[in-house]
Amino acid sequence: MLQYAAIVLIMLGLYGILTQRNVIKIILSLNIMEIGLNLFIISVGYVTDGIAPIMTTNHNTNSLIYVDPLPQALVLTAIVIGVGTTALGLAIAKNIYSKYGTFELDEMEEE
Amino acid sequence: MKNFLALILTLFLGFLIMSSLNNNIAFPKFGEANIGDRVSDAYIDRDVTENPGDVIFGETDGLESGPANIVTAIVADYRSFDTLGEVTVLFVSALGVALLLGTKKQKRLEIDFHPNFMLRVGSKALFGVILMTGIYISIHGHLTPGGGFPGGSMIATSMLLLYLADDNFRAKVKGFKILESIAGSLYVLIGIIGLIIGGSFLVNILDTGVIGELFSAGIIPIVYVLIGLKVGSEISNVIDNFLTEEGA
């Protein structure tokens, strides 16, 4: 079921990107979409009663049932790239604000 | 009208994805994934070429990839080239932020937020703890959850705390830039050394050691500490770019 909840989050973010006219809200929608996508990728690798893929003194062999580590590694990459895009988007938003004095795309007027 | 169209579009797209995933043989139900069929099985056994043997924590040595944290084995060993690209993306985005916001920065941005007594005193106590935790997480990335990226983010968080706690504080941005370039260059240099000695880029040239010990897993702790320093200084630079402006 969690996988479908993640798809709902992705669609919620897409709806936000399509309808919102505020720069900050667009960036927020992008982040919601990204979180949904990350949850979806993580959930693909989940195994019921699986152990986190880290060997410790309690779980000390490779014959135990581990959760799939590959989606987690991919999501680790995706999170970092998400941070980068968010920072770049916020920098653009800050420049827009200092030029037009507003975050609303409709209220911006050409000089 | 436009909102209605967007709603129809998203509902349609969501329905399309869900119906194609539902009852699809190639797509496992939640919690029923079979790791044995996947490439991850070879990653867990630390052997992608031959028949895997047993791996026992604290005893087995000379593995193909030595970290006890299997996610780290993938991120910093099997898919290390991918991680190099990821670090590059983060570098380019930090460069973009610096290009968009960076002029001759002289003073802090004036905002309607002034630190109160608790934040000023608390930040002095917490700064060292957060910084040390970030470094600890970077160094133990091959044994415990975490690694270079969360550790670097924690280092940047401690810098953000200093920025919040003092209206006039400015980090030594130039030092961060030098640290970042050195860490990034060393990462590539380690890769090139692997290419010369081991025959492929970023190959593990050191002894992988006994699994579960601090000094194990070859180049992985070194690479992860470098990534931690690079990410930490990059995000600190981004914070500095956001919190400063032009002026005397």
Cβ-defined contact of A19 to B145 (cutoff 8 Å): no
Of residues B177, B181, B205, the one with CA closest to residue B191: B205
The answer to whether A61 contacts B55, with C-beta atoms less than 8 Å apart, is: yes
- Least CB–CB distance from B68: residue in A54, A77, A79: A54
Burial of B43 (0-12, 13-18, 19+ CB in 10 A): buried
Whether B49 and chain A come into contact, CB under 8 Å, resolves to no
Q: Is the CB of A88 less than 8 angstroms away from the CB of B100?
A: yes
Rounded CA gap, B75 and B187, in Å? 14
Rg (CA), chain A: 19
**C-alpha to C-alpha distance for A41 and B31, rounded to whole angstroms:** 13
Evaluate whether A80 touches B82 at the Cβ level (below 8 Å). Answer: no
Mention the CATH class of domain A2-107. Answer: mainly alpha
How many inter-chain contacts (A to B, CB under 8 Å) are there? 153
Closest residue in B to A67 (Cα) is: B35
In this prediction the pTM is 0.85
| Whole-angstrom distance, CA of residue B164 vs CA of residue B115 | 7
Average pLDDT over residues B232-240: 88
Q: What percent of chain B has a predicted confidence (pLDDT) above 70?
A: 97
In 3-state terms chain A splits into helix, strand, coil percentages (rounded to 5) of 65, 5, 30
Q: What is the pLDDT of residue B247?
A: 65
* A64 chain-B contacts, CB cut-off 8 A: none
Alpha-carbon distance values, B248 to B7, B168, B175, B242, B245 (Å) = 50, 13, 22, 17, 10
Beta bridge partners of B32: A47
Dump pLDDT digits (tens) for A48-80: 888 888 888 888 777 788 888 888 889 988 988
Provide, as residue numbers in chain A, all residues whose Cβ is less than 8 Å from the Cβ of B32.
47-48
3-state secondary structure of A22: strand
Chain A nearest C-alpha distance from B226 (Å): 16
Residue A68 C-alpha, separation from nearest chain B C-alpha, in angstroms: 6
Checking A73-76 for CB contacts under 8 A at 24+ apart, the result is A73/B71, A73/B74, A73/B75, A73/B79, A74/A41, A75/A38, A75/A41, A75/A42, A76/B71, A76/B75, A76/B147, A76/B149
* pLDDT above 60 (res B248): no
Confidence of residue B132 (pLDDT cuts 50, 70, 90): very high
Judge: A69–B40 Cβ closer than 8 Å, yes or no: yes
Query: In the predicted model, is pLDDT for residue A111 greater than 80?
Result: no
Single-letter amino acid, residue B188: V
Six-digit token string for B121 = 């005193």
Question: What is the rounded distance in angstroms from the CA atom of residue A86 to the CA atom of residue B36?
Answer: 37
Residues in B touching A14 (Cβ below 8 Å): 10, 13
A15 contacts B32? CB cut-off 8 A: no
Closest by CA to A17, choosing from B94, B13, B133, B21, is B13
Distance in angstroms (rounded) separating the CA atoms of residues B123 and B164: 9
DSSP codes, B222-246: HHHHHHHHHHHHHHHHHHHHHTEEE
Integer Cα distance of B178 and B230 in angstroms:
10
Nearest CB among A45, A55, A85 relative to B68 is that of: A55
Label residue B218 left, alpha or beta by phi (over 0 means left) and psi (-120 to 50 means alpha).
left
| Position B48, amino acid | V
pLDDT at B212 over 80: no
pLDDT tens, position by position, B148-161: 888 999 999 998 88
Residue bearing tokens 């935790």: B133
Above 0.90 for ipTM, yes or no? no
More confident residue, B88 or B202: B88
Strands B244-246 and B105-108: antiparallel
The domains of chain A are located at: 2-107
Of all residues in chain A, the one with the smallest CA distance to B57 is A60
Q: What is the pLDDT of residues B221-235, one digit of tens each?
A: 888 888 889 988 989
Question: What's the half-sphere exposure (Cβ side, CA atoms, 13 Å) at A21?
Answer: 8
Cβ within 8 Å of A, B 158-217 = 211-212
